[in-house]
Structure 1
Amino acid sequence: MDDTLLKQQLKQLLIRECDKEDDIDWQSIADDEPLFGQDSRIQMDSLDALQVSLALQQHYGVRIEDSRQGRRILNSIDSIAAFVRQRG
């Protein structure tokens, strides 16, 4: 899959799963922008991480095994895309 297309799909999935359609336009998310923490515009929390993890499993067949791994994988669009490409 084309890298640009994958990242576009991941941004759309993230906004949809985290119910942020009214707050953030998916096109404004930078590939390396932090998704968690004080520096994040998206402000994902643990529930968002769980929903995104389940959506990644459904859409891409990749499974995030534990929360520590999940925090690293779900750090940015770049890290999610790398994980999907590696496992997909």
Structure 2
Amino acid sequence: MSSWDKRKLTDDLTALIIDECEKDDEFTAEEVDINKPLMGPESQLELDSLDTLQISLALLKCYGVRINGSKDGRIAFSSIDALANFIIKESTNAR
């Protein structure tokens, strides 16, 4: 993607996360708040570290973006919106 459509990216990420973490029996993409934390007590999706590993592998496969280290992970997985920003930033830096 040469120019990112952030709305489409956040929609795609929401669907990817629901699918990868097998939350489709609990949530639809429309019900997920992209600004809520992905992990922790405030998390709508109640993801754990194994979920983030699955998501990380899917991001590498789908977007060619690798999350390196806990600092990048904390930033990227703070919300779906933050994850979209991380992907845009990393893919732009890779050019």
TM category, shorter: over 0.9
* Mapped pair 1:67 → 2:64: no
> Which residues of structure 2 form unaligned runs of 5+?
none
| Partner Cα distance (2:68, 2:36) in 1 | 23
Q: Where has structure 1 moved over 4 Å in runs of 4 or more?
A: none
**TM-score, normalised by the number of residues in structure 1:** 0.93
TM-score (norm 2): 0.87
Corresponding residue of 1:85: 88
Q: Does 1:3 align with 2:2?
A: no
CA RMSD of aligned residues (A): 1.0
Secondary structure, in 3 states, of the residue corresponding to 1:23?
A: coil
| 1:27-38 matched pairs, under 5 angstroms | 27-38=30-41
Provide the C-alpha distance between the structure 2 equivalents of 1:80 and 1:24, rounded to a whole number of angstroms.
Answer: 19
Q: Work out whether 1:53 is the aligned partner of 2:56.
A: yes
Identity of matched residues, %: 41
Which protein has the larger Cα radius of gyration, Structure 1 or Structure 2?
2
Structure 1: segments with no counterpart, 5+ residues: none
Query: Are 2:19 and 1:19 aligned?
Result: no
Q: Distance in 2 between matches of 1:73 and 1:87?
A: 11
- Aligned residue pairs total 88
AA aligned to 2:13 is: L
